[in-house]
Structure 1
């Protein structure tokens, strides 16, 4: 673990795993004067109210804690309807050594947790992907991935909240009428937040 000061009122905590990130995030959330917590794959940025003495409490809190076990987090349940007709579905099946139907069953049968968000507004990195579906990114990223594309890469699955370049393997797309992952006119604008649970429901 390494701690880096980010200005007078924030600390970036560098950690070794997603489990440590989740554990550190839960502990830091309990400190007084926290105004923002931003988890990522191996870091947590914690920001405090200006002048808060809690900045000095970050190191002793984390160094005295066991970060090897992530605490249970109660998030909102989210169900996303998916049409599994993505252009990389057969590639994923071939790489996994299973049939296309098995890919769909594995992906839709798991329950996922939003570990952190990033890349684009509303994009959630979801953990809980069955090991058989852990896949490398494409060798050549696409210049445009359609909005609502459901994809996998490494240990994560996720949904593209808007059209953008991307190198994840595409399994399908959100069904018509599905709630958008990001809507600036909605409160909150992002559908997914760290700690939420997600299931994908086969549609069409």
Structure 2
């Protein structure tokens, strides 16, 4: 079945790309503590920036060194989702983004969770191939959130940060939901296919 084919190249768990993904996950509670407890926004922005860089780096190294693994394919989107989710919570609690906007973002992930659950129930498929559009949406949001956090203040620089932050957010949400439409179409095609046994 074409839709569930992956590029798994190794079964190793302790690879450099996977270690980078583990480190990204460890940064999630650190980020929340910095934003909500200490309100150390500069350090929180550094954590987000490092997360965004390692998000690119682990994928690049996995492809470059032929270390794409099942563990990595699970950890990478998990880290992305956790950073987006926790950042949404932090920015909402800090009144930097409105509640309705947070709901719009979270609703997309809830929708995609339902899509994956449907695929698992109907076909035993645990996920769809990552689409470039989805990665682009995630990148926009990971650029936007530090800017919005940086823009939580007065002055010219914070004002510019807010403007560019909201520009990235709008594009990110639009691409986020557009990717969801494409994943829905992928799911429809997979469910419409005949069973693997009849294809063999």
Structure having the higher helix fraction is 2
More strand by proportion, 1 or 2? 1
TM class, shorter-chain normalised?
Answer: under 0.3
User: TM-score, normalised to structure 2's length?
Assistant: 0.25
TM-score, structure 1 length as denominator? 0.25
